[in-house]
Amino acid sequence: MHGLTEHKQVARRTWATGDYDAMMRTEGLYAVGARLVDAVAVRPGDIVLDVACGTGNATVPAAQSGGQVTGVDLTPELLEVARHRAADAEVEVTLQEGDAERLPFDDGRFDVVVSSFGAMFAPRHEVVADELARVLAPGGRLGVASWTPDGAMGDFFAAAAPHMPTPPDFVDPPLGWGDETYVRPLFEGTGVRLRFRREHWEITHDSVEAAVECYTRLFGPLAAARALAEAEDRWPAYEADLTALFERLDTTGGREVTFPAEYLLALGTKGPR
C-alpha cells in the first residue's frame, strides 16, 4: 500500500519523541498493565506475547506472574526503556523490534497474547486482529486494553486532533478499539470468542498547567505536534484547547486535576483447531 511504510517510519520516530515512561509513571498507568495481566490470568509457565508493548506496561507484570514473556514494539527507544524496567523488576523478558501488522512469530506460538494501549495505534485494525489471533494457540487467551471513544480520553484525543497532522486514509481510528461493536467484527472468522468489560483509571495531575505539560512534553504524538506548532506559531491555540479540556474534565474543583479515564478490555479465548 502506497505510503504505509513511510507512515510507520514516521510513527516510529513520533513514539520516540518525549518520555513515554515518565508519562506512564506520572499517571500511574503501569497499574493498568498489571490489571490486564490479571484479567487474562497469566500463570507460571505461560508463553506470553505483549504486542506494541511500548515500555513494558504488560510485559513486566506478565513476567512477574511467571510467564515466559516476549514484548514486541515498532520503536526501539521504547524497548530500551522496557529492558531497563524489566531489569529493575528482576525479571527476564525477551524484547524485539516488530510490527503489530506482521508479527515475526509462528502460528499458534503463544498461550496468552496481550496489548495495553498499543495495538490500537497500528494503522490497519483488521490486519492487527488477524495477527493477534494467528499467533495465539488454540485454547489461548487474548486481552487488549484500549481507550474508549466516549470517555475522558476520547475527549482528550478529540481536543488534540485539530493540532496534529491529518492521518492517511488507510489509518483506522485508534479509538475504534475502545468500542465493542467495532472490535467484535475485527475478529470474525479468527476463532476467537470475545467478551468485554469497561474499567476506569483515575488520572491526577497537580494542576491544569501540569496536565498540559505532561501530555505535550512526554506523550510522543502530542509532543511532536507541540514542536511543530511552536515552530509555526500555533502553540497558543493548541495550549488553550487542552487547557479548556482539562478544566472541563476535572471532577474535584480544586487545584489538582482529576478525571476517570475509561478503557475497554477486550478479552477472548481461541477455540480449538
Domains and CATH numbers, the chain: 4-150+157-202+261-270 (3.40.50.150)
- pTM of this structure: 0.96
Question: Are the C-beta atoms of 89 and 55 separated by less than 8 Å?
Answer: no
**pLDDT of the chain along its 273 residues, tens only?**
669 999 999 999 999 999 999 999 999 999 999 999 999 999 999 999 999 999 999 999 999 999 999 999 999 999 999 999 999 999 999 999 999 999 999 999 999 999 999 999 999 999 999 999 999 999 999 999 999 999 999 999 999 999 999 999 999 999 999 999 999 999 999 999 999 999 999 999 999 999 999 999 999 999 999 999 999 999 999 999 999 999 999 888 778 999 999 999 999 999 986
Give the bridge partners for 267, in sequence order: 143, 195
Q: What is the SS3 assignment for the chain?
A: CCCHHHHHHHHHHHHCCCCHHHHHHHHCCHHHHHHHHHHCCCCCCCEEEEECCCCCCCHHHHHHCCCEEEEEECCHHHHHHHHHHHHHCCCCCEEEECECCECCCCCCCEEEEEEECCHHHCCCHHHHHHHHHHCEEEEEEEEEEEECCCCHHHHHHHHHHHHCCCCCCCCCCHHHHHCHHHHHHHCCCCCEEEEEEEEEEEEEECCHHHHHHHHHHHCHHHHHHHHHHHHCCCHHHHHHHHHHHHHHHCCCCCCCEEEEEEEEEEEEEECCC
